[in-house]
Structure 1
């Protein structure tokens, strides 16, 4: 069972108490690197990489409104992918859609059970980006505005190195996404409004697809008297968000060099092209951390502060300077994928960063807190560096 092989692997931390990273680990067709930096009081980004002799799975889940949805997805989506792919004889777009839908349904049931004690969970959601490599085929599925970018050699007439975006940003800051949402709601002239400097659906949320955000999908939740004591009533005739993923499939070719999977905290500060150039120019070991550092440097410039000063700012307050950032870089070594995996690569495992970077040195084991949908914030508040 896929769930049972997941474990937490503690990477190195230095210089920044809210940064976790893993320099380099092998997968079936290359190496991968992960880095996470926390900005929110509770880390709302969650991520994982599953490796086996025949497949590699990547998940990046960017929560909003709280960490509950992203943590839930982190524990449930991969087991569903494993279950349905086994039942249907392999991975496919249909398997991926079924796994996303089952995770959404399970989280909705959790929200329903939790409403009496925690009504705000109805407004918690998560973007969801998944990449899978199996039998030389790449699958990329996403909800929201986390992003997957491929770095590849150029074809005839192209630059020597090309940044190719493989995912769709479901964010109404994009004109085509606004038009898509407006077309689905022709009788609602206020479905997308410009407020607080950005476009938002119902003046509330920028992404049009997610796991969770149940009150924007199920009328019975936003009409619930318990929820209305917590949040404002949102007039809507039909769901304004969806959990239907965009899915891209691609046969990997020798020109494909590496993949970058990252939450929008990275892409807010780095373009696709800038990120690809960084990965191509620097050594593999620690490359995900290098991308995070580049984004933080850009964030510091925008706020006219020094990068080293940002690293000293505590969680919560730090969110005013940058978002939680998660980066996974997957190198594609085609000579490895065509040969038999060695003993080191033949071991299946699932690497998951700490559920909360701030808790990394806590007296409480991170594994224990990671199993809780509602973490004990009071117990973590005693931790200091």
Structure 2
């Protein structure tokens, strides 16, 4: 049994080592499986609409998902409070499937990400020096973030390979986005793969609650994304009846018309520039930061970042925050996108403080 230094004490209490990589890998997987069972048993792991509240932290999560008008709900969510048995850590994830098998892909990835991430994090920690010393707190924080980033990169690569090998799921022309965050103490790690979005609610100097977008919507027309796709012989263009909606096409220009530049699955275009590499960033939370919203693109298609923050902050009961945000988006969709089939909509609202108060009264949404 090896005890890690202070730089990772908050991430793991202990990690067991066995001789041989296969033994270590199997042992890590079994350990994670046990952690999942324990979390479910203690109502700390949620994968449907509801709430998650731990008695050992100030975190509070409100979760809600609603089926659209395109068939089965292809959105999936997961909240894991006390992630990896750490009292000060919570994991939140939201996944938006697409294609004929999108709902199966989203569910598979929802199940895989937390488990794969914990295993890869353990590997990354094991590879790091255990006797590192840092003169500055900044150096320590950067190294901790680097470990998480490398863990995410390895986990996502492994998940995409694992998904490809699942014979019961046809992910050749189906896939899913993946937006996840880990909050550990005052550290927020964000990993984005696709076009779901994370928005932070924070208080400005004059006491007004404002929105801050934490992620970039990974669309094919973004300069860097388009350049990668085109260098890989993929094509990016809009259809005549969808002006402004850029999609990824194979060199023949016929399929699949994917409105994303990054996703799990979608193996028909993985050789043409679509990747499963997440954009991993971090934020050091401060006392003025109140909550973060994760939502699938259906919500953001009709609700602005600031409107979302105002809706959540003005909800009388935090338990209903995610549901109210989605319901407001549904009403706005009917108003702004009349005649267009409504998308599935899902949201996670993670509050950072047990008691949330705001210095200003949010402006009401315009009708």
TM over 0.5: yes
Return the match for 2:307 from 249, 270, 274: 274
* Count of residues paired in the alignment: 280
CA deviations 1:92-118 (Å, max 9, x no partner) are: 1111111111111101122xx45xxx7
Structure 2 Cα separation of the partners of residues 262 and 54 of structure 1: 23
Q: How has the CA–CA distance of structure 1 residues 304 and 324 changed in structure 2, closer, same or farther, with 3 Å as cutoff?
A: closer
1:261-300 correspondence to structure 2 within 5 Å: 261-283=294-316, 284-300=318-334
> Does structure 1 conserve the Cα–Cα contact (< 8 Å) formed by 2:219 and 2:225?
no
Return the match for 1:191 from 235, 247, 253: 235
Return the match for 1:34 from 43, 63, 70: 63
CA deviations 1:164-194 (Å, max 9, x no partner) are: 010110013xx5x1x2233225567871111
SS of the residue 2:171 aligns to: helix
Q: In the alignment, which residue of structure 2 is the partner of 1:380? A: none
How far is 1:210 from its partner?
A: 0.4
Q: In the alignment, which residue of structure 1 is the partner of 2:260? A: 207
Q: In the alignment, which residue of structure 1 is the partner of 2:352? A: 332
SS of the residue 1:92 aligns to: helix
CA deviations 1:93-145 (Å, max 9, x no partner) are: 111111111111101122xx45xxx7x53111000000101132100101110
Q: In the alignment, which residue of structure 2 is the partner of 1:354? A: none
For structure 2, the residue ranges without an aligned partner over 5 or more in a row are 1-31, 126-143, 357-367
Q: How has the CA–CA distance of structure 1 residues 186 and 127 changed in structure 2, closer, same or farther, with 3 Å as cutoff?
A: closer
CA deviations 1:326-346 (Å, max 9, x no partner) are: 10000011899xxxxxxxxxx
> Does structure 1 conserve the Cα–Cα contact (< 8 Å) formed by 2:238 and 2:247?
yes
1:13-162 correspondence to structure 2 within 5 Å: 21-22=49-50, 25-26=53-54, 28-39=57-68, 40-52=70-82, 53-65=87-99, 66-89=102-125, 92-110=148-166, 113-114=167-168, 120-155=170-205, 160-162=208-210
Q: In the alignment, which residue of structure 2 is the partner of 1:314? A: none
SS of the residue 2:172 aligns to: helix
Higher relative contact order (CA 8 A, sep 6+): 1
SS of the residue 2:349 aligns to: strand
How far is 1:26 from its partner?
A: 4.0
CA deviations 1:254-309 (Å, max 9, x no partner) are: 1110000111111111111100011122221301110011001111223559xxxx
Q: How has the CA–CA distance of structure 1 residues 325 and 101 changed in structure 2, closer, same or farther, with 3 Å as cutoff?
A: same
Q: In the alignment, which residue of structure 2 is the partner of 1:351? A: none
Structure 2 Cα separation of the partners of residues 193 and 201 of structure 1: 7
Structure 2 Cα separation of the partners of residues 187 and 87 of structure 1: 33
> Does structure 2 conserve the Cα–Cα contact (< 8 Å) formed by 1:23 and 1:287?
no
SS of the residue 1:286 aligns to: helix
CA deviations 1:1-28 (Å, max 9, x no partner) are: 233245497xxxxxxxxxx742563472
SS of the residue 2:303 aligns to: coil
CA deviations 1:64-105 (Å, max 9, x no partner) are: 002121011011111111222234347611111111111111
Structure 1 Cα separation of the partners of residues 297 and 281 of structure 2: 19
> Does structure 2 conserve the Cα–Cα contact (< 8 Å) formed by 1:192 and 1:201?
yes
1:242-257 correspondence to structure 2 within 5 Å: 242-257=275-290
For structure 1, the residue ranges without an aligned partner over 5 or more in a row are 10-19, 218-237, 306-319, 337-385
